[in-house]
Structure 1
C-alpha cells in the first residue's frame, strides 16, 4: 500500500497485484498534478483561478477542468442543487480564503454577509467546443467533487491490469478485487483512525464520507464548517455529524454523502430512492443504516 498527503488531505493507493503498483503510483501523481494545475483555487496560476477572475465570457478549458466541472454539475443535478460548485463567494464570506492548514490556525478570521450561490444555471459548459462560460459574479470551488473524481479516474486507469482501491480525503474508489477477495473499507466518523472503525466489503463503485465535525475553523468566536448550504449561503447545520454513502462511483457517493448533511432528517429517503446505501451518524453517536448498509457489529466478507 502507498500512502500520500496533498492539499491538507491524506490518501492511499493499493492494488491486487504487486506489479501494478509502479504504474498505479505514476498514474495517481499524473492525475493529481493535472488537477492541481487546473482546479486548485489556492494557486493564483491555476486554470480555475484565472477562470474565476475572468468575470464572464466564453473560455477555452483543458480536458481536466472540463471533466471536473462536468462532475460537479452531475453532483449538483443528482442532489437537486445541494452540491453546488458556485459556492466560492460563500466560502470566502466565511473566511475560507487560504489553505485549510493556515485557516484552522488563524485567530483573526471574520465573516462577512452570507452570499447565496448563483447555482448550476450560472455555469454554461460546452463539451463539444471544450469551453465554459460563467455568469457575471459566478465563481467556482470544485474541491469536493474533484477529489472524488481523481479517485474514480485513477481507479479506472489502473483497473484493466487488476483490482485497485484509491482513497483520497475520505473518498474511496474501488475497481475489482484485492489480493484476498473484496476490498475491506474502514469508515471513520472522525479524522482520528484507530484501526477499529466499522468496515464494509466492496468490489466496485465508491464510498464517501462527509462530516460537519472534521473540517472546521473559528469565525468571530463561533465554529463553522466547510460545507455550504446553498439555500442559506452559510455553513451547513444538520441532525447528522457524519454520513457515509456507497454508490456506483466515488463522485456519486461523495455527492450523496454531502447532500445528506443538508437533507438532514430526509437523507435516508433520498439515499434509498437513488438505490444507494448509507450509514448516518447523529451528534449523540446514534447510527442509522439505509439501503442494506450492514450494521457495524454484523460486518462479514
Structure 2
C-alpha cells in the first residue's frame, strides 16, 4: 500500500500519480508463525498477507493435476505466465513460450514435466510522485523492489516453486543469478537493456530443461 498499489490496478493507474506520505515498519518474515498440526497461521497485529502470486501458481498446479487425474492425455495450464503441466507428455515434450511485456516471443523452451513461471517488472506498473513502481515488493523494506531485471523466468518441479523463485529473483536483483544457481534453479534473467543471463539447467535452443 505504501507504493500506491492499494486497489484494482486500473483504478491505481487512473490516479495519474501517488504521493507517498510514509512507510510503516515492515513486520519481518519471522513474525509469521505456521502451526501445521492446527492448520493455523499467526501474524503480527496489523499484518496483511497477500497470497495472490502463490495462489495463482498453486491453482495452475492443482488444475493441471486434476485434469490429468480425471481425463486421458496431457495438459498445460497457463495462468498469467505461470505454466503447469501434467499427464502424458506430447511427442518431444511441451513447447513453452517465454514472452516479454510487449507480448513479443523471447524464447521457446522444451519442458519434459517441469513447470515454468515468469515474474516481470514491466507489466503491472503505475506512476507515483517518485517515478514508476511495479508490483513486486521487497519484504525487507516494504517498498517496490529495485528494477534490475525486466523479467525472470524459472523452471521447477511445480509452478508454486517456480513462481517463488522468479519473484525472489526480482527482489534479489543483482544477487539473483548466484542465488538461483546455488538453489539449483534453472532460470532466464532478462535485463532492462534486453541482455539475457541464464543459470545452469536453463534449456538452450537445442537442449531440454534439466
| Count of aligned pairs between the two proteins | 206
* Length-normalised TM-score, structure 1: 0.63
What is the SS of the residue equivalent to 2:96?
Answer: strand
Query: Aligned partners of 1:242, 1:199: CA distance in 2, in Å?
Result: 15
Query: Aligned partners of 1:134, 1:231: CA distance in 2, in Å?
Result: 16
The aligned residue for residue 170 of structure 1 is 81
Q: Over residues 7-61 of structure 1, what are the superposed CA-to-partner deviations in whole Å (9 max), with x where a residue is unaligned?
A: xxxxxxxxxxxxxxxxxxxxxxxxxxxxxxxxxxxxxxxxxxxxxxxxxxxxxxx
* Length-normalised TM-score, structure 2: 0.88
The aligned residue for residue 133 of structure 1 is 42
The aligned residue for residue 168 of structure 2 is 259
* Structure 1 gaps, min length 5: 1-91
Matched, 1:273 2:182: yes
Q: Which of 98, 102, 109 in structure 1 is aligned with 2:18? A: 109
Offset of residue 94 of structure 1: 1.3
What is the SS of the residue equivalent to 1:136?
Answer: coil
The aligned residue for residue 119 of structure 2 is 210
Please list every run of at least 4 consecutive aligned residues from structure 1 whose deviation after the TM superposition is greater than 6 angstroms: none
The aligned residue for residue 18 of structure 1 is none
Offset of residue 116 of structure 1: 4.3
Query: Aligned partners of 1:215, 1:193: CA distance in 2, in Å?
Result: 14
Query: Aligned partners of 1:288, 1:134: CA distance in 2, in Å?
Result: 37
Query: Aligned partners of 1:128, 1:265: CA distance in 2, in Å?
Result: 38
Matched, 1:225 2:134: yes
Matched, 1:145 2:40: no
Query: Aligned partners of 1:275, 1:131: CA distance in 2, in Å?
Result: 31
Decide which structure has greater helix share: 1
